[in-house]
Structure 1
Amino acid sequence: MKHAIRYSLLLLTAVTVIASESCQSPNTSKNAEIKDSTVFLSPPLITSMYTADPSAHLFEGRIYLYPSHDTATGTPENDNGDHFNMMDFHVFSMDSVGGKVTDHGVALHIRDIPWAGRQLWAPDASFANGTYYLYFPVKDKQDIFRIGVATAPKPEGPFVAEKTPITGSYSIDPCVFKDDDGSCYLYFGGIWGGQLQRWNNNVYDSTARLRQGTEPAILPRMAKLDKDMKHFSETVREIKILDSAGNLFKEKDNDKRFFEATWMHKYKGKYYFSYSTGDTHNIAYAIGDNPYGPFTYKGIVLNPVKGWTNHHSIIDVNGKWYLFYHDTQLSGKTHLRNVKVAPLVYHEDGTIQTISAYHGK
């Protein structure tokens, strides 16, 4: 059954700022609790349930949101994010930013994924071949995160999952980017609970550890998708994120290095790779000349929000750019989040104006 959620969005001025979080633990959070709801930049888009990690897309003239569905399962909290024990996905849509949000119901449930074990984390979606594709990470029967794909004839689903995960896929936070020539690329990865630290040269090692301060930071991954959108057409490769001097970041550079939550978009011919820095709570971005990178770090899209890490998406809606994100305004609990949206502004040189999740901050 569809549920209409009435929502009146506070449209914002040009100087705006925001944040989100993803599937990890609050144990090392540095964020202070914000108790006055009037200081938040944007109100929650959805209040009928807890949602997070919003992937936004413009399909068929409507804005569609593909978020995680947070639930209170009672799973103990830990640094691996076991308490983010999601079971299904709902798809939401609206005619415009500020318009009525419609809940299209359950689009995919974990019980309908033949190879799934537990923890249905942040998804993304794409359209090709007259079909809508939903990409999702979930732990398999061996408790290893893989990325699966499901299909539907409509953007809201329901989606039917393939019987096996994408061959060669691993870790979390898939993002599908379609370039101007129609080529599609899948970006993914997340350290800590996302298990990316266990993969070296695409080989799994359950004993592999996180990098230490002066060691090179773990890099996100990507691969071009085959025309059928269900397989990789090439070997998974690392994405280089460089500082202004052309050097890779070290793990100690944790206010800039990659942690999770990949997103790719294109603006004036340049490729913008954005991501969460995780334990320092920024949404950062880097710019490159092609979808493979390398990408040069440019700054912060979104400062920390109430909650733990961030997870976002960036889209163009009729010539205006928006950042979708999440925080914990409704619950105050790290694993029970709510999605939001705010305008995103570019400077003349193509850099992005940093957004704050609070008024006057």
Structure 2
Amino acid sequence: MEIRFVAVLASLALALGATAPAAAAPPPSRSAQPPSTTFTNPITEPFADTYADPAIIRGKDGWWYLYATSDPLVSGGPFGNMHVSRSSDLESWEYVGTIFDNENRPSWAASASYFWAPDIRYVDGQYVMYYTVTDTEANPDPWDYTIGVATAPTPTGPWTDSGGPVLDPRPAGGDTYLNTIDPALFADDDGSRYLYFGGFNGGLWVTRLDESGTRAVGELTRVTVADRYEGAFVVKRDGWYYLMGSSANCCAGPVTGYSVYTGRSRSPLGPFTDHEGVSLNESRVGGTQVVAQNGNRWIGVGHHAVLTDAAGQDWMLYHAIDKDAAWLEEPGGVNRRPTLIDRMDWIDGWAVVNAGAGPSEGPQAGPVAASGLGIVRGDPASGSGLRRVAGTFTRGFDDSGDAGALARLVPGRRDAAVVRTAPAPRDVRVEADVRLPDADASFTAALGGSGRAAVLVRLDAEARELVVGQGRRELRAALPVNADLRDWHVLTVEARDGAVRARLSSSGLGDVDAEVRFEPRTPLPRQAPVHLTADGGEARLDNLTVVPAHEPVTRRVAEPRAGAVTFAEEFDGELGPGWDWLHAPSAGPSGVEITDGALSWPLTGHDLVGSANDAPALLRDAPEGDFVLEATVTLPLGENTVRNYQQAGLLVHAGDDDFLRLAPVSIWQTRQVEFGKELTADGRTWFGGHVSGPVADTMHLRLFHTTDPATGEHEYRAASSRDGRTWRFGATWTLPANTTPKVGVYAGGGATPATTATFDKVQLRELG
């Protein structure tokens, strides 16, 4: 194959040599920068109050399509059977319609079933949607969740259900994968297709799919602990498989603490571990935070999808709740969860939204959705953005799918067909949907012009390879057996920091059919055209973009720091002045006492949540201004047993039904750090929380207090540590401006088995 590769390069050089006058007089320079876009969250506001569980794909027609779960779009609206909207620029969105109606809804789903959490992909030349079916006709259990799949020739349908579930519905009374919801497909470069699914009360699972993609085959593998994650999404990056999932309650209105975490593995089957090596599939559960609420209007940020823009920047789409407008008015009990989009950065090998700043408010710089250099993305053969050098370059039309106008690059009898752009920068990203109708065709993208420094990326239908090379040196990756290049595939080529990365994928959503990373020995020139070549047969191109590669964000935003100690309670005798008991604990040998330089606090089954409000707490006045509340607590919770809901930690108390608490806690079989909030709103009391971790028997806890200068709201950001040195930061909860909360410690939850919490110290610090 090396001979053929060199022949393509020679063909390209000859073609350029034959048209030297044209090459010497290029068309007027066109900016490599595409038009800039801006957005303001929520992006679905023009047509929907709620648009939850978003999934996205770029259609071959050039539009981006955004899908959502079966909620009413607006107050009083009907429950649509999943929704779809679209945008041409990832900035302005319009509603299109529903996925199912009474005519095409799956006949094997019970009449009362909902359809949740669509996952959209492009597979084998058609659009494939996986979705949750909450109730089937298969057994009398009203919540026999399972996964369905439907296909369509276009992103808007018509959708044809496969006729049955991908996974057998849970049998009535069964205890396997109890919450069979939230599907997500991942296609790997060996041709394997995996479906991830599951949620709380069961865990996240993965199964292989058959060649049709409609049925699970082989054994199921659990990849997370049973009571922590849902809403899976998997991407492959730098040889790692990243499993992302959402955690905590999605839908608790104004106290929703939902957020997204990730772990990674060298295998799509796991084990997935976080940045400290803690597994997502163990009782003391791990997970690296990707996005959490930050104190602005948005809470409950989760159930996401990932999109890569034309410049190579990743973006996360997820739903969120406005803490001041949490519910639809009609019907009652439905959360307003519109879709947000924010930049997702990769820092030190881990994904994080807005470099750790969290969900955005106000106008933001948007994704790159158009091409530079005068190229019309959705109609590459129109205009003068590409200049023909040899062969035939003409406009065509896709009459078998949804691509619409496309570009046909047809080689002549003796030479390849070549087009070139205006000069592009050294760090450039080229993306295109590519089809090779002929079995012996190849398509080549040459970066760096036509000289010896050029790096050629070739998609070869005959050899079934993706090849990247410079001169006679090349690297190649074989295509999977099931990759049919007669169907559209997304080819991306990115030059950055002295390396060229090429990836072929079916959906362009973190999946991969073939991937090559190549380091040229001769650097690419600072400015040079990109040459696109078809040889041996016709190449069809659509959705072509050539833009500067994005500048990655490589540093996280600064986390708050704890400063000098202003107050310390070491529990080395009588309590210091300023402490008061709330719901005073019992006295005597089994009660709370100071002993051996610590506060010993047996758990007695009392709790602050709900109507009882009888758990004891030790409180004092909070300092004025900014401060840090800190405690060290030892609470042996064991592992893999149910000890609901034993906990001990920090408390911020503005009232028995208006408080925040941060503690390690036993939630069914998991051990997590929960940052909970209770408030009274809409005539009732609500409790919800953000969860993080992992935990150890001895935990160090901090709450960082600041005040919003615009609203006067109290903001509290949580952090926890297993060693007192390495801290994990979590969510931010707020309390109203007109409150004067007290701060301190508490313990509560179940009394069985007998457990004692021990506080070594409580401190107040300056905000550093």
Match 1:285 to one of 243, 251, 262:
262
Shift of 1:45: 2.8
- C-alpha separation in 1, matches of 2:197 and 2:344: 23
- C-alpha separation in 1, matches of 2:214 and 2:319: 29
Match 1:231 to one of 206, 215, 234:
215
- C-alpha separation in 2, matches of 1:342 and 1:87: 26
- Structure 2 partner of 1:296: 273
- C-alpha separation in 2, matches of 1:47 and 1:63: 16
The 1:123–1:315 alpha-carbon spacing in structure 2 relative to 1, beyond 3 Å, is: same
The letter of the residue matching 2:65 is Y
Trace 1:1-361 onto structure 2 (pairs within 5 A).
10=38, 42-49=41-48, 50-60=50-60, 61-71=62-72, 86-98=79-91, 100-109=92-101, 112-117=105-110, 118-138=113-133, 139-141=135-137, 142=140, 143=142, 144-168=144-168, 171-191=180-200, 197=201, 218-240=202-224, 258-279=228-249, 280-298=257-275, 299-304=288-293, 306=298, 308=300, 310-318=302-310, 319-329=312-322, 331-333=325-327, 335-352=335-352, 353-358=355-360
The 1:221–1:250 alpha-carbon spacing in structure 2 relative to 1, beyond 3 Å, is: closer
The 1:165–1:351 alpha-carbon spacing in structure 2 relative to 1, beyond 3 Å, is: closer
Contact 1:150-1:160 at 8 Å conserved across structures: yes
The letter of the residue matching 1:311 is H
The 1:348–1:310 alpha-carbon spacing in structure 2 relative to 1, beyond 3 Å, is: closer
| CA RMSD, 1 decimal | 3.0
- C-alpha separation in 2, matches of 1:52 and 1:342: 15
Shift of 1:165: 1.2
Structure number with bigger Rg:
2
- 1:244-288 deviations in whole A, cap 9, x for unaligned? xxxxx696xxxxxx3211111122221110111123522111111
The 1:307–1:271 alpha-carbon spacing in structure 2 relative to 1, beyond 3 Å, is: same
SS at match of 1:164: coil
Shift of 1:350: 4.0
Contact 1:10-1:42 at 8 Å conserved across structures: no
Shift of 1:155: 1.8
- C-alpha separation in 2, matches of 1:133 and 1:316: 19
Contact 1:62-1:95 at 8 Å conserved across structures: yes
**Larger proportion of strand:** 2
Shift of 1:184: 1.8
- C-alpha separation in 2, matches of 1:351 and 1:327: 19
SS at match of 1:123: strand
- C-alpha separation in 2, matches of 1:259 and 1:148: 21
Question: TM-score under structure 2 normalisation?
Answer: 0.33
Contact 2:42-2:338 at 8 Å conserved across structures: no
Tell me the matched-pair count: 276
SS at match of 1:295: coil
Shift of 1:309: 6.5
Shift of 1:129: 1.9
Structure 1: runs of 5 or more not aligned: 1-7, 12-40, 76-84, 192-196, 198-217, 241-248, 252-257
- 1:128-149 deviations in whole A, cap 9, x for unaligned? 1222111111121332111111
Percent identity reads 25
Contact 2:53-2:318 at 8 Å conserved across structures: yes
Structure 2: runs of 5 or more not aligned: 1-35, 171-179, 250-256, 276-287, 328-333, 362-707, 709-731, 733-768
The letter of the residue matching 1:285 is T
Question: TM-score under structure 1 normalisation?
Answer: 0.68
